[in-house]
Chain A
């Protein structure tokens, strides 16, 4: 297949369109706006729907409407916009509506800045809105995966009637890599539960209301059973040189690219270091981490957040001992030497690494919008 140099944000739109998404609703926000731009360009070219909504609240509710009408639908945003959408997330989960939401994470809290970060982890992976619900969360780490996992997100959303979030960051959105296009375009199948404004579907109802307490309790249990099944069937992770590893880096998204480089550098020194990369953050590869934990490996969570991933690693490993955090926040990308310094420290290698001189990228992007 002919590869093209494609930006991560564009790859999301390509994946969505080949997956049969025909409704895009969104609101501008850096660094996710390019998804909006590309959708506004390409969706109408093939008669599909694009609306620039008045807010993220409106976007996610437009998603609710089109999803309830049985269409494959998506929106994309970044931290502050994703926060505004939380009402919609829980309504989608409560009405069991499939939808794909792409979060191109930026640095927070508040307006923060437009640099890349992974601080939305808890909000996305743990739910974020009210009630006992979960999102399915996919974490790409390359332009190819921005496309492929967006397609996968539509498949999972329909299969489980659940919102699926593609959790990426500003770096993945901005960078370009060769993209191998999807082999074919999907025409979505009809959904018998949808409300489409026709005779066949007029008895259907899209709602998250259960007035009877016991009915709502039953529904909550039903949801938990669904999440259990998802956890049993849908966990995806990628391992790199984990087999004989004594130190396992756990990392997703852009951080995992740096972690992978750290594995290579460490292996050059003969250190037994590997990388476990969760591709589904929810469901989390709990079982695999427990297995590794039982083998007695050390874990280093490499993340651009305040230990949010580390907490899940510790929870899965059932221990806090011998687990470490290497992180950056505020829009800074983790540096290879930071990760190496921690590995050498754990291995007791006395190597001078100058980690004092921080990445200079940080003083570059400083706008807020």
Chain B
């Protein structure tokens, strides 16, 4: 509807009819489909109409999605002639986030009462506001729970009587009224925040102006807008028309000042969201998938081998294990790598299991170890008893003497010295890996080298050092065992 039409003689008739964005009849209601389920004197009907008129006037009806969570407005979907969601108590702003992120062009509105928004849904309310989600929230503040039967709301005034504060709200026991506009106004993201009142016809006209501004924020894709509406609930507050009006004007408006808190409609730039890319090419690119590589599992005859690498966190225990696994993967072997580490980033206990096989691997957690690589004393002592008869323990010689009374090949290796000689002490784990390449022929040496190149692809400087140390480690084993 254009501005000129407002002056048309037919306008008077039009205001009596429902706007197009409200249905003429309410079949979803089931019975009495010509009237709403709201009580006489309730504010919801007025607010529904104001919102729908603004939807008409802004030409956004088809783009609108109305969310009705729990409260008297749980059935808002009976009335609004647009896409509708009904949701769980208090969760409308989260649902709105989901809709808005999925469908950027949708105009998402949530319509919530004071229990829903300011009590059970306070977190969702503030967080969605803080993220500046593209949504308009209509907050109906009537100081009382409606649908559930008149209980105290977060917005109930001091001294106000409800069924759960029968002698009046006492701040020492039930706290103070929650000021939602003021709370949301502490956040940076919201574009438009205003509190309006439905106490009299003039205030209702002013409320409509605010609603239209708030929805314009959505029409232009600019972000979050919040309208708090002071509304009458004559049924639960046991008021007649006159006393309901007086209650809003003389008590509610004193506690909850009616005013605009923020209007950045004209300065805020629209939020642009990207379009989802569903192509195989794009996914292959981000995951480095090479579809020309036809390599599959190789069915060669190897004896399955279980390796445990252990030490302190920060010693490169997990990455040494991953290097072995990577090498096995590249050769088309079945392989599993399973890490176990303490909570500390550095200094905690750390170990990983690597199983290499020519067939599907059962348990990835190694209890019976063929080769144990130990970088510190506690793990050497802890895991040595799990090493199989005929197995091997390769450990950092700095740990000192270690003996075992079974048929196990125990090799103390000066891995730190080797690492320092050919690179730096940090590559001691790689020196032990070099040792491993000589102790088992299950994988080719060059596979370890390629794995190192792959693992350090983002740090090319350390590749050569690690490969040198790997070779030196292998050489040491050849000469010393």
- The residues of A with any CB-CB pair to B shorter than 8 Å are 1-5, 14, 17-18, 20, 22-23, 25, 42, 44-49, 51, 53-55, 57-59, 61-71, 73, 87-88, 91, 95, 171, 174-178, 181, 184-188, 195-199, 201-202, 204-209, 211-212, 254, 257-258, 260-262, 264, 333, 335-337, 359-361, 364-367
Cα separation A79 to B258 with both chains bound (whole Å): 45
Q: Which residue of A lies closest to B37 (CB)?
A: A211
Cα separation A180 to B97 with both chains bound (whole Å): 34
- On whether the beta carbons of A61 and B95 are closer than 8 Å, the reply is yes
| Residues on A with beta carbons closer than 8 Å to the beta carbon of B284 | 181
- On whether the beta carbons of A2 and B283 are closer than 8 Å, the reply is no
Scan residues 270-304 of chain B and give those whose CB is less than 8 A from a CB of chain A: 273-280, 282-284, 286-291, 293-297
Q: Mark B334-358, 1 if CB is under 8 A from A, else 0.
A: 1111111111000001000000000
Q: Can you name 9 extra interface pairs (CB under 8 A) apart from A5-B322, A46-B282, A175-B364? A: A1-B295, A5-B329, A53-B97, A58-B127, A68-B99, A88-B91, A175-B338, A198-B106, A365-B342
| Residues on A with beta carbons closer than 8 Å to the beta carbon of B280 | 18, 184-185
| Residues on A with beta carbons closer than 8 Å to the beta carbon of B86 | 95, 205-209
- On whether the beta carbons of B340 and A49 are closer than 8 Å, the reply is no
| Residues on A with beta carbons closer than 8 Å to the beta carbon of B335 | 5, 177-178
Scan residues 92-147 of chain B and give those whose CB is less than 8 A from a CB of chain A: 94-103, 105-108, 123-124, 127, 131
- On whether the beta carbons of B286 and A46 are closer than 8 Å, the reply is yes
Q: Which residue of A lies closest to B84 (CB)?
A: A205
Count: A-B pairs, CB below 8 Å: 262
Cα separation A360 to B88 with both chains bound (whole Å): 45
Given contacts A61-B88, A197-B83, contact A186 B278 (CB under 8 A): yes
| Residues on B with beta carbons closer than 8 Å to the beta carbon of A196 | 83, 103, 106
- Min CB distance B295 to A, Å, is 6
- Min CB distance A12 to B, Å, is 13
| Residues on B with beta carbons closer than 8 Å to the beta carbon of A360 | 382
| Residues on B with beta carbons closer than 8 Å to the beta carbon of A176 | 322, 325, 336-338
Cα separation A64 to B63 with both chains bound (whole Å): 19
Q: Counting CB contacts under 8 A, is B369 at the interface?
A: no
| Residues on B with beta carbons closer than 8 Å to the beta carbon of A187 | 278
- Min CB distance A217 to B, Å, is 15
Q: Which residue of A lies closest to B339 (CB)?
A: A174
Partner of A23, one of B28, B98, B338: B98
Which segment of B74-82, B161-169, B436-444 sits at the interface?
A: B74-82
- Min CB distance A250 to B, Å, is 16
| Residues on A with beta carbons closer than 8 Å to the beta carbon of B81 | 202
- Min CB distance A214 to B, Å, is 11
> Sorted from nearest, which 10 A-B pairs have the closest CB atoms?
A65-B98, A197-B106, A261-B362, A47-B274, A2-B293, A61-B94, A367-B343, A207-B86, A62-B98, A195-B83
9 contacts between A and B (CB under 8 A): A46-B282, A54-B123, A64-B88, A65-B100, A91-B87, A176-B325, A177-B361, A361-B340, A366-B343
Q: Which residue of B lies closest to A275 (CB)?
A: B362
Q: Which residue of A lies closest to B296 (CB)?
A: A1
| Residues on A with beta carbons closer than 8 Å to the beta carbon of B97 | 25, 51, 53, 58, 62, 65
Q: Which residue of B lies closest to A211 (CB)?
A: B30
Partner of B87, one of A20, A53, A64, A257: A64
- On whether the beta carbons of A197 and B105 are closer than 8 Å, the reply is yes
| Residues on A with beta carbons closer than 8 Å to the beta carbon of B297 | 3, 178
- Min CB distance B111 to A, Å, is 14
Q: Counting CB contacts under 8 A, is B85 at the interface?
A: yes
| Residues on B with beta carbons closer than 8 Å to the beta carbon of A66 | 98-99, 101-102
Q: Counting CB contacts under 8 A, is B431 at the interface?
A: no
Q: Counting CB contacts under 8 A, is B326 at the interface?
A: yes
- On whether the beta carbons of B99 and A69 are closer than 8 Å, the reply is yes
Q: Counting CB contacts under 8 A, is B61 at the interface?
A: yes
Q: Counting CB contacts under 8 A, is B332 at the interface?
A: yes
The CB with the most chain A CB atoms within 10 A, among B289, B291, B297, is that of: B289
Cα separation A264 to B87 with both chains bound (whole Å): 51
- Min CB distance B387 to A, Å, is 14
Given contacts A197-B105, A257-B362, A364-B349, contact A205 B342 (CB under 8 A): no
Scan residues 361-404 of chain B and give those whose CB is less than 8 A from a CB of chain A: 361-365, 367, 382
Given contacts A54-B127, A360-B382, contact A65 B367 (CB under 8 A): no
- On whether the beta carbons of B84 and A171 are closer than 8 Å, the reply is no
The CB with the most chain A CB atoms within 10 A, among B83, B287, B293, B322, is that of: B83
- On whether the beta carbons of A61 and B87 are closer than 8 Å, the reply is yes
- On whether the beta carbons of B85 and A202 are closer than 8 Å, the reply is no
- On whether the beta carbons of A185 and B98 are closer than 8 Å, the reply is no
- On whether the beta carbons of B362 and A14 are closer than 8 Å, the reply is no
Q: Which residue of A lies closest to B325 (CB)?
A: A5
Cα separation A209 to B96 with both chains bound (whole Å): 19
Cα separation A272 to B172 with both chains bound (whole Å): 72
Given contacts A5-B325, A175-B337, contact A197 B95 (CB under 8 A): no
- On whether the beta carbons of B326 and A197 are closer than 8 Å, the reply is no
Q: Counting CB contacts under 8 A, is B211 at the interface?
A: no
- On whether the beta carbons of B362 and A63 are closer than 8 Å, the reply is no
Q: Counting CB contacts under 8 A, is B360 at the interface?
A: yes
- On whether the beta carbons of B99 and A202 are closer than 8 Å, the reply is no
- Min CB distance B31 to A, Å, is 9
Q: Which residue of B lies closest to A17 (CB)?
A: B283
| Residues on A with beta carbons closer than 8 Å to the beta carbon of B217 | none
Partner of A258, one of B77, B329, B363: B363
- On whether the beta carbons of B101 and A257 are closer than 8 Å, the reply is no
Partner of A42, one of B101, B275, B286: B286
Cα separation A204 to B106 with both chains bound (whole Å): 14
Cα separation A262 to B107 with both chains bound (whole Å): 58
